[in-house]
Structure 1
Amino acid sequence: MNKKLISSGSTFEESIGYSRAVVQDNWVFVSGTTGYNYETMSISDDIVEQTEQCLINIKNTLEQADASLSDVVRVTYILPNAKAFESCWPVLKKYFGEVRPAATMFSALLADDKMKIEIQVTALKSQNT
């Protein structure tokens, strides 16, 4: 069994005790990911832009695990405002329309009021990766 921890460098990972992702054999478990742009250390006020940034962050994390969005088998969406979810659908379809992972959405408060969505994924790397 081969286990690899992936860090984004966030201070929260050290303070709380978690990893951005854990790779176990061919499985990749990506922690809940928000719409922060780590290059600018900013977050948009717009939920659609946050959704796009979440998926860019997840894509980058999966690449560090030698995986891709096409390997995603499970996705969980967490939103403080469930009624805002429908506005995210075009972005979700852009990234997952062909992949079609199993999915769940639920509404819950997030760690910071600026955060409008958090996305968590599980991926199973293909044997060709």
Structure 2
Amino acid sequence: MTKKLINSGSVFEEQIGYSRAVVQDNWVFVSGTTGYNYETMTISEDIIEQTEQCFINIKNTLEKAGASLSDIVRVTYILSKASNFECCWPVLKKYLGSVKPAATMLSAGLANKKMKIEIEVTALKNR
């Protein structure tokens, strides 16, 4: 029962004190992930581009954990405006359409006004 912490290099992880993901046995718990490009610490104003970047960040994190997008069993979408959810559907389908995890969408204020979507996933690594 080994616990592994994964960091993406985001300044938020260091400033706030959390891990991008925690791996416990075959489980991978990925923190809420926004559309920031962590290499440049920039974020697009476009929600579709933010959604795409969220999945790039999540994919990179899962790979560091020895998992993949196909291992996702649960996803939570948090949007600053519920009315923006439908325009994200094509990106969601692109990444998870064949995976079909259990899903929830919430609308809430996010940590920064630039953030329009945050995505949290749980994955179960296949042996």
**Structure 2 CA distance for aligned equivalents of residues 37 and 14 of structure 1:** 16
Change (3 A) 1:40 1:11: closer
Change (3 A) 1:102 1:125: same
Match of 1:57 in 2: 57
SS at match of 1:77: strand
Name the TM-score, length of structure 1 as normaliser: 0.95
Higher mean C-alpha deviation, range 36-45 or range 57-66: 36-45
**Gap regions ≥5 residues in structure 2:** none
Higher mean C-alpha deviation, range 100-109 or range 35-44: 35-44
**Structure 2 CA distance for aligned equivalents of residues 96 and 79 of structure 1:** 18
**Structure 2 CA distance for aligned equivalents of residues 66 and 123 of structure 1:** 11
Q: Which runs of 4+ in 1 moved over 3 A?
A: none
Match of 2:44 in 1: 44
**Structure 1 CA distance for aligned equivalents of residues 12 and 49 of structure 2:** 23
SS at match of 1:119: strand
Match of 1:80 in 2: 80
**Structure 1 CA distance for aligned equivalents of residues 46 and 12 of structure 2:** 23
Match of 1:101 in 2: 101
Q: RMSD of the alignment, in Å?
A: 0.8
The alpha-carbon deviation at position 10 of structure 1 amounts to 2.2
The alpha-carbon deviation at position 42 of structure 1 amounts to 1.1
**Gap regions ≥5 residues in structure 1:** none
Query: Aligned pairs, how many?
Result: 127
**Structure 2 CA distance for aligned equivalents of residues 108 and 5 of structure 1:** 27
SS at match of 2:22: strand
SS at match of 1:120: strand
The alpha-carbon deviation at position 33 of structure 1 amounts to 0.2
